[in-house]
Structure 1
């Protein structure tokens, strides 16, 4: 299941397209058509690197003034930190006062190999470890150490997010899955302590059934939210906006965590 299949770019193509898209998205978010925003209107996006067991991962960190949390994004199979859908959700989260970190879960060499073999995209333990390294970076970085961390996962990234949350129960405060495959988190599901919001399109029947089965294994507080009429990529009018609004509400006012 290729979460961002319509884009179909990876490696250097994704970087080039992503830089152009990122610049255009920043202009739209600021409402400027290319003009510089007023001083203090928004924080600049900063490229950061995460060392995950020797793999240097690239991410884009953006913190609005007075951020009250930071959400780490885990993209789905065949995608990258330039996912237009994740970036649209991230803009809404920043408008709600949350910082965002959009992270590539694979290196460029791994992306090229995965495009040929598909070996890495369903390696949930590997992707989960990469997210754990990113969570650890956020909780130790002076810019984000004082705010709670949330995880937003799409497609296979949702399984990686749940796996990472199970490994960092104190650090991860809330999780949102968009059209995710939480079932791939397996035995990590009952170990998750942070509240989980599972968002699925009403017309994405196969993934909806997989989410229902995964929800039955969760012991943490959780909710399954179905967007009526939406398919897997939430391409229908208003569907992605509904996802973003639900995610913003979950991250800004999450239910209590379970366990100690």
Structure 2
């Protein structure tokens, strides 16, 4: 049934994407056909019989297409909140592979310190530095992560990389013997890209707000902080 509905949506309503404004504009263009044929029938009586059947068929198609646009727009309105909720749940539960973790002290040298979170020693250094920062530090962390594997429809291209930035003191570091460092966003969400008027959104995007959970190797015990 989904395949049939998809075929009707694409071929009948002319919707490759949920762009209903464009669909209605295209339907208005199709409506010019029956009007043009009716005008020919009025101005050239000897062609009236020849254009009557094509005009009727084209007019029926325009009416059917207009009806389908209304039906699919209403269905999209009902489907959109469920889709956003499902995508948000998948996003919040997804561990993105962490590709690079760099920390910069805004009051210190400009160079970033890059931490390898598959190294227990460097994880320990980062944990110590984060704890020291909570007393009032100014360092900021930049996390680069692969996003091609996320269950999204805004769909990253293969090999796509995204990044987030947070004050170091706000990172939630979870050492635990992971072979692959990862990052998770438990309060992230998908929101619709605002469209024109009350129409359903054409696209959605993620907002990576809230806490950032970073997982890596088991931290090696240290006695001091490292910068």
Q: TM-score range by the shorter chain?
A: under 0.3
TM value normalised by structure 1: 0.20
If the length of structure 2 is used for normalisation, what is the TM-score? 0.22
Q: Find the structure with the greater CA-based Rg.
A: 2
